[in-house]
Structure 1
Amino acid sequence: MTTVLLTGAAGFIGGAVHRRLRQQGVDLRLLVHRRPPAADPAARLVHADLTRPGTLRGVCDGVDTLLHLACTVDEGDPRACALVNDRGTAALVGEARRAGVRRIVHLSTAAVYGDGPHRGAAEGDLVPAPVSAVSRSRLRGERSVRAAGGVVLRPMFVYGPGDRWLVPRLVRTLTALPVSVDGGRALLSLVAVEDLAAAIAALAVAGWGPVPGGEVHHVAHPEPVAVRELAAALTEHLGVPAPVAGLTYGEALELLAGRPRDLRHLALFGQDHHYDSGRVWRRTSHIPGAFATRFAAAAPWYRAHLDPLATPAAAAAGPTEDGTP
């Protein structure tokens, strides 16, 4: 039986991976810091702190696969990003190497490539150019994993039950300003959280060992989603106002001048950000579900949780595990 150590199990993506692994019958250990994960009497809880390397001693003993999904995405605290995403990852990977862990899988983000536009790039086609403290720290964390021969996963936008970033932010923006940019033509790489979890769980038990120089995989549905299709789904399933006016990208830049947070969102959602993800699905033999089907299935969760999630206070809070930029 494969023994897996999972970090970030209390988060959006980590929780989905946790549920998937429970179905696969692995010997599961959950690294816990502040937030306890969902109750799982079959899993062993391991208490440690990524910012205190001494607490990590022994956490990887007897482990076959390390799934490192924990991170901080608190843009307002660059020091915390460095401590958790960079140095914490390096310390955990160092402990995994000391313990002889055979497989390391690390969740990063395609936001390490910067603002774009990016159109169908495969792994290795783009030189990373992160523009935020979060993405810079996550790129530095990747290097430790790759040096150990591990696999780095780079999703762009992740949606589904538990999403506290992508859809709540779009709902808030479109409710306050129901306009489209360039007709909503921008194409985005989206992946449903259950499909991302399936890929991660498959890599956890696959028969591979360290790869010299490590590997990078984009993780998204093979077909990008146009912003107008995403906006239409928000209107249909969540009652978000449909756009009533349109702006060019240049006009939007002028309108948002002096508002860095809004300009960042414009760069993300107003331009193409889609990546070739064929390799990861061939590697894991998983077929991801179509956006229309997956979003419709997730809509009840969004309807039940949207109001508190869509407030500025919720968006400003720094979650400790996420797959978003």
Structure 2
Amino acid sequence: MSGRDRLRVAVTGASGFCGGVVARAAAAAGAEVVCLGRRPGPVGESRYWDAARTPPDLTGTDLVLHLAAAVGDPPPGRGSEAAFRAVNVDGTARLLEAAGERPVVWVSSASVYAPAGPEPIREDHPLGGLTAYGRTKAAGERLALNAGAVVLRPRAVYGPGDPHLLPRLRRAVRGGRVLLPGPDVPLSLTAVENLADACLAAHSWPAGAYNIADACAYRRDEVVAAACGVPVRHVPITLTRAAATFATGIARLTRREASLSRYAVEQLTSGVVLDISRARAQRWTPRRTFADFLTSAL
């Protein structure tokens, strides 16, 4: 197949954790990859794009996989909200305008959902992000869905090179154990390889939102103990919430991300399980598990 016959895939945020894995997976699948971001991507051609300021150059591309985002658990305040909106909402608007008629797969997050009960969360569950990240991702989603994009909602993405979830858990080890607010809860997690598979398949799916996660939910305590290599001990939720309120106050004063936020406490104490049947109906099957990751990391 000649280079002119190959699918040319634009991957935004390709210098990041998820974007880098998706870019490499697209190249491995035989596509020509154009990486867009403030830093060069891991494969193919790189084009500079600051999502908060300028439209992307999508010249010559056939498909857009949009993973560029402002991420994290920032301290409350107008400054954080504005910084996240500049990328996750305004940047999305610029991307969609530049994409034109090209198919767009827009990677969102399960952080867009409002708090839920014990039942698995379906895509029609109300939105209501608890942080600047969740709120601005929800707002960006609305733009993407109105433009006819496919929106993917993974939860707690992990894998080789993960800079967020697992490092945070391992920093919580104290005295040969991890203290978590009890009781144990079920959680959905998403292997980055499963997310990459969904990104590459989703351009042919009907427009709309799709939950993306591993095949089965996990028990929180088992995952944390396995990832950290130490036992888990429970502490009262009320005590943890008080500590998070204090840490959030310090973060507001220092303008740094809180070491323990109220949002993080809610994520650890609320059983968030995603219903992935809608994506499965498109013949997507999550192939990787947390056990696979631990085995490969040893």
TM-score between the two structures when normalised by the length of structure 1: 0.78
CA-atom RMSD, angstroms? Answer: 2.2
Correspondence for 2:211: 218
1:36 counterpart = 2:40? yes
Q: 1:92-147: per-residue Cα shift (whole Å, max 9, x none)?
A: 101112xx21x1101111011144455312111x1101111111111111111111
Correspondence for 1:105: 105
Correspondence for 1:134: 133
Are 1:86 and 1:141, in contact at CA under 8 Å, matched by a contact in 2?
Answer: yes
1:258 counterpart = 2:246? yes
Distance 1:292 1:145, change over 3 A: same
C-alpha distance in structure 2 between counterparts of 1:27 and 1:257, whole Å: 47
1:264 shift after superposition: 2.2
Are 2:64 and 2:104, in contact at CA under 8 Å, matched by a contact in 1?
Answer: yes
Amino acid at match of 1:224: A
1:225 shift after superposition: 0.7
C-alpha distance in structure 2 between counterparts of 1:259 and 1:288, whole Å: 38
1:257 shift after superposition: 4.8
Are 2:114 and 2:126, in contact at CA under 8 Å, matched by a contact in 1?
Answer: no
What stretches of structure 2 of length at least 5 have no aligned partner? 1-5, 249-257
Are 1:202 and 1:284, in contact at CA under 8 Å, matched by a contact in 2?
Answer: no
Correspondence for 1:45: 46
Correspondence for 1:69: 67
SS in 1 for 2:119: strand
Aligned length: 276
C-alpha distance in structure 1 between counterparts of 2:35 and 2:99, whole Å: 15
SS in 1 for 2:11: strand
1:277 shift after superposition: 1.1
1:266 shift after superposition: 1.4
Q: Which has the higher contact order (CA 8 A, sep 6+)?
A: 1
Correspondence for 1:242: 231
Correspondence for 2:93: 90
SS in 2 for 1:274: coil
Q: 1:18-64: per-residue Cα shift (whole Å, max 9, x none)?
A: 1111111112211132x2122x3xx23222322233x53xx234432
Are 1:118 and 1:275, in contact at CA under 8 Å, matched by a contact in 2?
Answer: no
TM-score between the two structures when normalised by the length of structure 2: 0.84
1:248 shift after superposition: 4.1
Amino acid at match of 1:179: L
Are 2:52 and 2:87, in contact at CA under 8 Å, matched by a contact in 1?
Answer: yes
C-alpha distance in structure 1 between counterparts of 2:268 and 2:220, whole Å: 7
Correspondence for 1:305: none
Distance 1:93 1:118, change over 3 A: farther
Amino acid at match of 2:165: L
C-alpha distance in structure 2 between counterparts of 1:144 and 1:257, whole Å: 33
Amino acid at match of 1:68: H
Amino acid at match of 2:226: A
